[in-house]
């Protein structure tokens, strides 16, 4: 693995793990604490309406931290646990993914315990432990479906195939949530690796992919960091180490006192010599930026896309007595060439540009399709119709592609018939493609969705062109 400090980047924010004793018995901190306690007491006792002091204090914490820099933050225990779960790469529950369709909980995919108990995509969740789920919020539903591994929950589901409601008791288990997704490009000659976050198991997942790439003698690898807001910094460093030879600097960390600390790559990387291209965008941040910078600075891989976000501050995480957490900026990190990538603002000390500049810059529309397509996906009819089409076509082996009839059905139900008059033919085809992708997701799963998505990803096309031009 990688020599150097163990850091955590909580979804884009650099975090040291450690502790430091402090005394609040004397000095300005003690005076401020007594003043704040006196202030809260007066507000709680004398304000015209009852005051929830705990909520008031939590708001105050983040108001204070917001005056320091953009990334120091206070997290209530529930938020901290949710982030822990995401980065741990697993959760405890029944293994069911769902969507709300016309006020109904529609099962989209199942695995683990839910699959073993016979739940299937397109089933409708009617009740949990005998309580109807109509009118529930998503948070409430997640709260009852998740629980300690080994515990059980009863779900009532209606099957559109059997036309019956059945009650199923499912024992919860630990459900792995991979942080990477992989595919093959260029007729199987190039590997594609999308790293969605840098979690606890990401280095192992990256290493496994790269070793398979070597066994298959792939001509190159495209690493996609678009939308990756960070995660564990140590995971980002370890993943970069797989591409770098021993002794190469991965990251510098500069604290309030003491000399800069250098973290270097070790020997034995899984892909130290193969051709690599990295895709980035404005949401590529923190641990993902460290990974990208390490490969770019050492001329190991060019970056393609947009300027990255620019998060270069390291936080020290402290667990408070009630389980809530304080993440306070205590250092900055620098790229191997000692560039500070932090965007301008409070706590910044960089050169003002912020983030990493790609070697090949692409327009936003080239990266994602038309900018307005995201709004189309948010329309209620989008999920409703694509789910209905997936149900209608489920089990059929023919190629899935939204027909003209279905396209115009969507445009009518979404109220876009008049808007279409001002669209180009290419715009309309983008809508058809988005509808087809979502039907594929519902009907055949996330992997089929990814593979179809990559056929019309112009950033991937640019990466393949760059890889081909660099071949001897």
CA nearest neighbour of 177 among 294, 110, 86? 86
Residues in the chain: 472
297 is catalytic: yes
Report residue 114 CA to chain centroid gap: 24
Q: Considering only CA atoms, which of 444, 291, 436 is closest in space to residue 369?
A: 436
Within 225-289, strands assigned E span: 249-255, 261-264, 276-280
| Catalytic annotation, pick one of 117, 174, 219, 297 | 297
| Residues contacting 193, CB < 8 A, separation 6+ | 180, 181, 182, 206, 209, 221, 222, 223, 224
Rg of the chain, C-alpha, whole Å:
25
Annotated active-site residue in 69, 281, 286, 457: 286
C-alpha closest to that of 294 among 233, 244, 260: 244
Inter-CA distances, 212 with 279, 300, 411, Å:
21, 20, 44
Rounded to the nearest 5°, which phi and psi values hold at 427? -60, -45
Q: Are 337 and 346 in contact (CB under 8 A)?
A: no
Looking at the DSSP bridge assignments, the partners of residue 249 are 264
Q: Is 167 a catalytic residue?
A: no
**What does the alpha-carbon distance between residue 194 and residue 223 come to, in Å, rounded to a whole number?**
6
Residue 106, H or E segment: strand 104-110
- Respond yes or no: is residue 116 known to be catalytic: no
State the SS3 of 324-376.
Answer: CEEEEEEEEEECCCCCCCCCCCCCCCCCCCCCCCCCEECCHHHHHCCCCHHHH
DSSP state of 259: P
The tokens for 313 are 């501050």
* Distance (Å, whole) CA 425 – CA 191: 32
Cα 295 from Cα 311, distance rounded (Å): 17
| DSSP E strands, 216-259 | 220-224, 249-255
Output the six-digit token pair for 391. 């149900």
**Is the separation of the CB atoms in 72 and 329 below 8 Å?**
yes
Pair 172, 151: CB distance under 8 Å? yes
Active site residues: 286, 297, 311
């Amino acid at each position: 693995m990688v020599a150097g400090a163990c850091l955590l980047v909580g979804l884009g924010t650099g975090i040291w793990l450690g502790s430091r004793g402090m005394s609040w018995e004397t000095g300005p901190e003690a005076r401020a604490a007594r003043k704040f306690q006196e202030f809260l007491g007066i507000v709680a006792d004398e304000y015209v309406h009852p005051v929830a002091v705990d909520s008031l204090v939590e708001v105050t914490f983040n108001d204070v931290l917001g005056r320091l820099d953009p990334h120091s933050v206070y997290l209530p225990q529930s938020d901290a646990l949710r982030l822990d779960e995401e980065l741990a790469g697993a959760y405890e529950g029944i293994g069911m993914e769902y969507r709300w369709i016309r006020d109904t909980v529609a099962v989209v995919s199942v695995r683990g315990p839910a699959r073993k108990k016979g739940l299937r995509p397109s089933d409708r969740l009617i009740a949990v432990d005998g309580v109807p789920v109509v009118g529930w919020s998503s948070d409430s539903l997640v709260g009852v479906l998740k629980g300690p591994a080994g515990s059980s929950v009863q779900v009532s589901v209606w099957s559109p195939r059997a036309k019956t409601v059945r009650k199923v008791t499912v024992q919860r288990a630990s459900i792995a949530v991979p942080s990477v997704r992989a595919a093959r490009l260029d007729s199987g000659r190039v590997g594609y690796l999308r790293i969605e976050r840098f979690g606890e198991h990401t280095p192992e997942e990256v290493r496994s992919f790269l070793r398979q790439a070597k066994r298959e003698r792939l001509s190159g690898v495209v690493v996609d960091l678009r939308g990756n807001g960070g995660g564990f910094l140590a995971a980002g460093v370890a993943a970069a180490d797989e591409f770098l030879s021993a002794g190469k600097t991965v990251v510098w960390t500069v604290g309030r006192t003491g000399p800069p600390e250098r973290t270097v790559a070790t020997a034995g990387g899984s892909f130290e010599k193969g051709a690599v291209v990295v895709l980035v965008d404005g949401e590529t941040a923190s641990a993902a930026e460290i990974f990208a910078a390490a490969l770019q600075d050492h001329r190991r891989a060019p970056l393609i896309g947009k300027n990255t976000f620019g998060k270069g501050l390291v936080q020290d995480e402290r667990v408070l007595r009630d389980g809530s957490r304080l993440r306070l900026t205590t250092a900055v990190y620098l790229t191997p060439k000692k560039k500070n990538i932090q965007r301008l603002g409070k706590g910044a000390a960089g050169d003002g540009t912020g983030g990493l500049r790609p070697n090949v810059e692409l327009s936003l529309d080239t990266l994602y399709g038309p900018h307005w397509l995201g709004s189309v996906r948010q329309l209620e009819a989008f999920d409703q119709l694509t789910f209905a089409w997936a149900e209608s076509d489920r089990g059929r082996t023919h190629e899935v592609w939204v027909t003209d009839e279905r396209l115009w059905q969507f445009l009518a139900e979404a109220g876009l018939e008049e808007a279409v008059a001002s669209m180009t033919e290419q715009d309309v085809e983008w809508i058809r493609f988005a509808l087809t992708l979502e039907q594929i997701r519902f009907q055949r799963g996330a992997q089929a969705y990814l593979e179809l998505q990559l056929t019309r990803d112009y950033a991937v096309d640019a990466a393949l062109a760059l890889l081909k031009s660099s071949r001897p």
